[in-house]
Structure 1
Amino acid sequence: MLRPMASFFVVYNMVTTEVIAVFENTSDELLELFENFCDLFRNATLHSEVQFPCSASSNNFARQIQRRFKDTIINAKYGGHTEAVRRLLGQLPISAQSYSGSPYLDLSLFSYDDKWVSVMERPKTCGDHPIRFYARDSGLLKFEIQAGLLGRPINHTVRRLVAFTFHPFEPFAISVQRTNAEYVVNFHMRHCCT
């Protein structure tokens, strides 16, 4: 097996123009900092009025998901601790715009299958069924989101990807589904019966 090339992370103080630290992409110390303080790695405005961070450093449910992902890599063929560190640190640097602060993705409030949607705004495999969101306290179904075109037959031989962008606090989301060269954009809004 070929050994991946090393890469480095440099922590730089832009005010004083000094290098504070240099870490290799297999650094246990940097991974520990990332796991315990990941909100500081990704949120440029931690002191804004609307802030719903749902991360491994601020939410037990997100921490469980991260731990499960790490254990999967450690126990996989060609995996191990060093590979898990490399893969987890491979998420760095994080663009502040790539994470959603929406309360609808807060794992303290809602339970949902993170295989289909997550706080990280990146394409995921599109499922055949709606994504269901359950209240964490009661377990009751609160809402669901269907990506793609309703009433249109699904071709299971083609890989479909979908990316969600949630509004920071309003009940609104945009999904962009890609199947081959075709794109479907949906606007998801709260439906109220009056």
Structure 2
Amino acid sequence: MWQMQLVTPSIILIRFVNEEAFAATPGIGSYPLLLVLMDWQRGDVLGAFDRYSTNFLKLIEKCQEELKYAHVSSNRFPCSIQHCQQALVTYQRMKDALTDARGGSDRETRRRIICQLPYSFSYIPVETPYLDPSMFRFDDRLITLIERTKLSDSEVI
């Protein structure tokens, strides 16, 4: 087992890779991968998928909100591809760009999208888009420029 993610309170997504993949220099992406959906309370395996699975990609596209924001049970401001038209358009553009970059290979596109799972976040997103830190950017270069600038007393920032 390499990574695990909670999808619902009772369902987890587990990513399995070979033991040799951890010490591999070319990268973990070249080794076999198995993604398993499991009901951990009952001990049932709900599905097992490889990195090229068409059915798993469809499941990802239908359940983006649950996969990305499993901890938010009642999200009043959904922002994933099944609820937000702009997010869907952006996702389709990304998917088309991946397909075009690899010479039109749907298989490679599926592999690249599926290999991103399970999602990991460095912060916990909030339920309201007005306080979401991902919508704001802190530009270090601008702060450095302001700090280095010598202003006279009459100049206003």
- TM-score under structure 2 normalisation? 0.60
2:88 match: 63
Pairing 1:90-101 to 2, within 5 Å after superposition: 90-95=115-120, 100-101=125-126
1:82 match: 107
Query: When the two structures are aligned, how many residues end up with a matched partner?
Result: 116
Q: Is the Cα contact below 8 Å between 2:102 and 2:108 reproduced in 1?
A: no
> What is the letter of the counterpart of residue 17 of structure 1?
G
> What is the letter of the counterpart of residue 21 of structure 1?
G
> What is the letter of the counterpart of residue 54 of structure 1?
C
2:68 match: 42
Gaps of 5+ in 1: 107-116, 120-143, 154-194
2:55 match: 29
1:147 match: 139
Shift >6 Å, 4+ stretches: none
Structure 1 99/70 Cα, relative in aligned 2: closer, same or farther at 3 Å?
farther
Structure 1 42/11 Cα, relative in aligned 2: closer, same or farther at 3 Å?
same
Gaps of 5+ in 2: 1-28, 146-157
- CA-based RMSD of the aligned residues comes to 3.0
> What is the letter of the counterpart of residue 84 of structure 2?
N
Per-residue displacement from partner, 1:147-184 (whole Å, max 9, x unpaired)? 1143635xxxxxxxxxxxxxxxxxxxxxxxxxxxxxxx
**Aligned-pair distance for 1:42?**
2.4
> What is the letter of the counterpart of residue 30 of structure 1?
F
Higher relative strand content? 1
Per-residue displacement from partner, 1:11-37 (whole Å, max 9, x unpaired)? 111011121110011111011111111
Per-residue displacement from partner, 1:25-76 (whole Å, max 9, x unpaired)? 111101111111111112223334x643211122110011111000001011
Q: State the secondary structure of the residue aligned to 2:31.
A: coil
1:175 match: none
Higher relative helix content? 2
1:16 match: 42
Q: Which has the higher contact order (CA 8 A, sep 6+)?
A: 2
Q: State the secondary structure of the residue aligned to 1:21.
A: strand
Task: Select the structure of larger CA radius of gyration.
Answer: 2
For residues 39 and 92 of structure 2, the distance between their equivalents in structure 1, rounded to whole angstroms, comes to 30
Identity fraction in percent: 28
For residues 99 and 81 of structure 1, the distance between their equivalents in structure 2, rounded to whole angstroms, comes to 32
